Amino acid sequence: MVTIPADGHLDKIRKGYSSDGPAVHLGAAMLDGESHPDAPVRLPIAMMNRHGLVSGATGTGKTVTLQVMAEQLSAQGVPVFLADIKGDLTGLSSPAAGSDRLRQRTQSVGQRWSAKAFPVEYFSLGGDGKGVPVRARISDFGPLLLARVMGLNETQESSLQLVFYYADKNDLELYNLADLRAVISFLTSDKGKDALESLGGLSRSTAGVILRELVTLEAQGMDKFFGETEFDTAEFLRLAEDGRGIISCLELPTLLARPALFSTFLMWLIADLFAELPEVGDIEKPKLVFFLDEAHLLFRNASDAFLESIMTTVRLIRSKGIGIFFVTQTPKDVPSEVLGQLANRIQHALRAFTPDDAKALRATVSTFPTSAYDLEEVLTIAGTGEAVVTVMTERGAPSPVAWTRICAPESTIGPSPAATVERIVQESPLLPVYAPVVDSHSAFEKLSAIPAPTHDGGPGTNGGTRTDTSGSSVPRTQADIDAEARRIEESILGRPSSRPATRTPAPLPDWRPMPPSGQQQQREPAGSRASAPGQPAPERRAPKRQAPGQSGKPGKKDDTADLIKDVAVQAATVLGRELVRGLFGTRRRRRRW
């Protein structure tokens, strides 16, 4: 099984996995089925932003490996994100129970073990399940990711991008599915004919197909995942009071029948972090390690544009302090362009029951560095909780391949009691922030000619309201909108805005259809759009922004200078709209981190 003397092989592993900085203790090296605790296998934490892959057949121990890694990262002050597909990872909230079998295991890998519970925050997509709701505005989610959820082909995906472009250019806020449906309905109506023709590449028939798919999504209850209050991915970067990294656990058991939805939502979370986080280069430990489970679902039937966006994100997000670990069954589930970016590999056992399995096994072996092991044999005989490992060392070279017995978790293997999870969710400081459902004045109301309500609930022309769970309104005033517009202009131009502090509300554009005579179109009520009774919605915490620095000195300007300034402002506004979307068409939120 090993082509060099055992002592020489163990010495090579000891040297290859030595680490001067903090590291995750994965386990102990194995030879001929026996573990050697004096040859520990470690993954340097500083190298975890070089990304990785955890793979293996069902039942070989991938979930427990994730649990071990999450525990040790948390203990060393690194926040972690996990997608909990089956509900097993809630055990992180409860200390494990000791046993003789557990003691033998920890001794065999040289592990200093003690039972512990870890700081965990539970999340759920749109409140579907136990956890703090995670929602995204449609405009921030973007057309590429939404096309994945809707199952559109590449032509329809391109057409959807034109719809988003039209909404951006015409100040039609897309917060939820009803807003997007309203825009597409308008474009396919007689009143929207000219606007549709102006888009060029968007045909009425394709827009109709997209509209039907959108209605299907709403009929399936997926509207609850989109809207406000939108989740701020900065919440994943928090530390507990004792300095441990908080483990963010997205609970997905109720979404097993919608794999495209949850896998795409995970990519949105990564894309949002990529768009918003500043460059930090190489740092001692990552800001966040993100485990992307069921990764094969992300790449299945993906368009070229979507794959290109994933590859670019994985390649560039490392310098922003984020490490991504893809979790799947075989390396062939991940495109080679992405696989080439994953420096850390933890490969659990594979089964070769069919010719296709044997082919996948050989392909997996070919992706590892040259090894003293017969990897085809090792990967078929490795037991549960054992894996073949190679990582990026602190000097930037791959470590020797090591057949490894993985450490035991210090928290419970399997789910925590339901009462424990419920208590953690109810005590979360994030619940009152993200639980309320807000219905702001947006594209639906604008295209339905429904005036934005004022503070007293009457008709008005300000930018909209946010409704808290008690039924009261917090106005989103025109002054607020003007202030945001001035801030964006200043951030683009690098000097004070020429936009006045207040402006007179403009009349509705001619393209907005009027309601039928004698009646006013109202948005249909839906349970997912109603606020939870009895819970007030505190104002969402807005990150502090620094005022842009002023350039130049005030002085007298002639008419030509004013004209040039006005043209520059208009051009900058258009440019800003074009640059505001990221790799996946997601909208940047321009936060200050």
Residue 392 is classified by DSSP as B
The average pLDDT across 354-367 equals 89
pLDDT over 50 at 471, yes or no: no
pLDDT recorded at residue 204: 83
pLDDT recorded at residue 560: 58
Element (H, E) at 479: helix 478-493
Residue type at position 364: T
More confident residue, 316 or 472: 316
Q: pLDDT tens digit string along 207-225?
A: 889 988 888 888 878 888 9
pTM above 0.75, yes or no: yes
CA distance 447 to 59: 52
CA distance 185 to 208: 8
Confidence of residue 486 (pLDDT cuts 50, 70, 90): low
- DSSP line for 304-341: HHHHHHHHHHHHHGGGGTEEEEEEES-GGGS-HHHHTT
pLDDT recorded at residue 75: 97
pLDDT recorded at residue 461: 37
pLDDT over 50 at 34, yes or no: yes
pLDDT recorded at residue 467: 37
The average pLDDT across 323-342 equals 92
Confidence of residue 128 (pLDDT cuts 50, 70, 90): confident
Residue 397 is classified by DSSP as S
Buried b (16+ CB within 10 A) or exposed e, 438-477: bbbbbbbbbbbebebbeeeeeebebbbbbbbbeeeeebbb
CA distance 54 to 63: 9
Q: pLDDT tens digit string along 369-402?
A: 888 899 999 999 999 999 999 999 999 999 999 9
β-pairing, 80-84 with 288-292?
Answer: parallel
Confidence of residue 479 (pLDDT cuts 50, 70, 90): low
Buried b (16+ CB within 10 A) or exposed e, 552-591: eeeeeeeeeeeeeeeeeeeebeeebeeebbbbbbbbebeb
Which region holds residue 275: left if phi is over 0, alpha if psi is between -120 and 50, else beta? alpha
Mean pLDDT of the chain: 80
Confidence of residue 493 (pLDDT cuts 50, 70, 90): very low
